[in-house]
Chain A
Amino acid sequence: MSALTAVEAPLLEVEDLVVEFGPVRAVDGVSFRLPAGPYGFALVGESGSGKTSVARALMRLVSATSGAIRLDGSEVVGSSRALRAYRRDVQIVFQDPTTSLDPRTKIGSTIAEPLRAHRIVRRAEVGDRIASLLAEVGLDPEMAERYPHQLSGGQRQRVAIARALSVEPRVLVLDEPTSALDVTVQARILELIAKLRRERGLAYVLISHNLAVVEQLCEETAVLYLGRIVEHGPTEEILASPAHPYTLALRSAVPEIDLAARRSRIVLPGTVPDPADPPPGCPFHPRCPYANERSRTEVPELRMVAGRTVACHRAEEIVAGEV
Chain B
Amino acid sequence: MTDPKLSLRDLRITFGPRTVVDLDHLELGSGEILGLAGESGSGKSITALAVLGLASTLGARVEGSVRLDDEELVGAPESRLREIRGSRIAMIFQSPVSSLDPLLRIGELFERTLRLHGDGKHEAAERAAAALREVLLSPDLLERYPHELSGGQAQRIAIAMALALRSEVLLADEPTSALDVTVQAEILDLLRRVREERGMSVLFISHDLAVVAELCDRVAVMQLGRIVEEGPTARVLGEPEDDYTKRLVASVPKIGVRA
Which residues of A are at the interface with B, using a C-beta cutoff of 8 A?
46-47, 152-153, 182-188, 190-191, 194, 209-213, 215-217, 239, 249-259, 261, 265-269, 271-272
B residues 211-245 near A (Cβ < 8 Å) are 211, 213-214, 233-234, 237-238
Closest to A188 in B: B251
State which of B25-33, B115-123, B175-183 sits at the interface with chain A.
B175-183
B186 A268 Cβ-Cβ under 8 A = yes
B182 A255 Cβ-Cβ under 8 A = no
State which of B53-61, B100-108, B145-153, B196-204 sits at the interface with chain A.
B145-153
Query: Closest CB-CB distance, A157 to chain B, in whole Å?
Result: 13
B39 A254 Cβ-Cβ under 8 A = no
User: From DSSP, what is the main secondary structure of chain A's interface residues?
Assistant: helix
Which residues of B are at the interface with A, using a C-beta cutoff of 8 A?
39-40, 136, 150-153, 180-186, 188-189, 207-211, 213-214, 233-234, 237-238, 248-249, 251-256, 258-259
Query: Closest CB-CB distance, B153 to chain A, in whole Å?
Result: 7
Bound form: Cα–Cα A190–B257 in Å: 13
Question: For B251, what are the chain A residues with a Cβ–Cβ distance below 8 Å?
Answer: 183-184, 187-188
Query: Closest CB-CB distance, B181 to chain A, in whole Å?
Result: 5
Closest to A266 in B: B185
B254 A212 Cβ-Cβ under 8 A = yes
Bound form: Cα–Cα A120–B216 in Å: 53
Query: Closest CB-CB distance, A50 to chain B, in whole Å?
Result: 14
A184 B252 Cβ-Cβ under 8 A = yes
A259 B182 Cβ-Cβ under 8 A = no
B185 A216 Cβ-Cβ under 8 A = no
Query: Closest CB-CB distance, B156 to chain A, in whole Å?
Result: 10
A–B pairs, 23, beta carbons within 8 Å: A47-B150, A47-B180, A183-B208, A183-B210, A184-B251, A211-B181, A213-B253, A215-B258, A249-B182, A249-B185, A253-B184, A255-B188, A256-B210, A256-B213, A256-B214, A258-B213, A259-B237, A265-B185, A268-B182, A269-B136, A271-B152, A271-B153, A271-B183
- Partner of A211 from B152, B211, B233, B255 at Cβ < 8 Å: B255
A255 B153 Cβ-Cβ under 8 A = no
B210 A239 Cβ-Cβ under 8 A = no
Query: Closest CB-CB distance, B105 to chain A, in whole Å?
Result: 19
A267 B39 Cβ-Cβ under 8 A = no
Bound form: Cα–Cα A266–B251 in Å: 26
Instruction: Sort A-B residue pairs by CB-CB distance and give the 10 closest, nearest first.
Output: A46-B180, A253-B185, A255-B210, A212-B255, A182-B207, A257-B210, A257-B213, A187-B251, A183-B208, A184-B251
Question: For B185, what are the chain A residues with a Cβ–Cβ distance below 8 Å?
Answer: 249, 252-253, 255, 265-268
Bound form: Cα–Cα A267–B214 in Å: 14
Question: For B211, what are the chain A residues with a Cβ–Cβ distance below 8 Å?
Answer: 255
A210-B256 CB under 8 A given contacts A255-B208, A257-B209, A257-B210: no
Closest to B215 in A: A255
Bound form: Cα–Cα A217–B254 in Å: 13
B186 A259 Cβ-Cβ under 8 A = no
B183 A46 Cβ-Cβ under 8 A = yes
A215 B181 Cβ-Cβ under 8 A = no
Question: For A252, what are the chain B residues with a Cβ–Cβ distance below 8 Å?
Answer: 185
- Partner of B209 from A183, A251, A266 at Cβ < 8 Å: A183
A259 B234 Cβ-Cβ under 8 A = yes
Bound form: Cα–Cα A168–B211 in Å: 37
Task: Identify which of B151, B189, B252, B258 gathers the most chain A CB atoms within 10 Å of its CB.
Answer: B252
Bound form: Cα–Cα A78–B9 in Å: 67
A253 B182 Cβ-Cβ under 8 A = yes
Bound form: Cα–Cα A153–B185 in Å: 25
